[in-house]
Amino acid sequence: MWVKATKGVRVPMDGKPRSYIEREAVEVPETAYYMRRVQEGDLKVVDAPADLNTVGQVATAEPAQTGGGAVGSSAEGDEVKPKKGAK
């Protein structure tokens, strides 16, 4: 579903609390989190942009993965390197 934030509101992305949905339309999954934000009036469901190339920033949000993965690997099998200083 495509959503954008109500004027004057910044909505954190699910699983990415430092990334926000603002006035640009973004595609998000129909999770309980986003449906609740729509119900509360923080987000508005909008039509998908007719031409995705004209949208300034189109972000596809994915639900956060929980458990199941080995440390140092990702779901796609790509190596995930720890940040410097991380133990």
pLDDT band with cut points at 50, 70 and 90 for residue 9: very high
Q: What is the pLDDT of residues 58-72, one digit of tens each?
A: 555 555 555 555 555
Q: What is the pLDDT of residue 2?
A: 96
Q: What is the pLDDT of residues 25-49, one digit of tens each?
A: 999 999 999 999 999 999 999 998 8
Domain ranges, ordered by start, for the chain = 2-54
Rounded to two decimals, the pTM is: 0.57
CB 68 within 8 A of CB 39: no
pLDDT band with cut points at 50, 70 and 90 for residue 74: very low
Q: What are phi and psi of 40, to 5 degrees?
A: -80, -10
DSSP letter, residue 84:
T
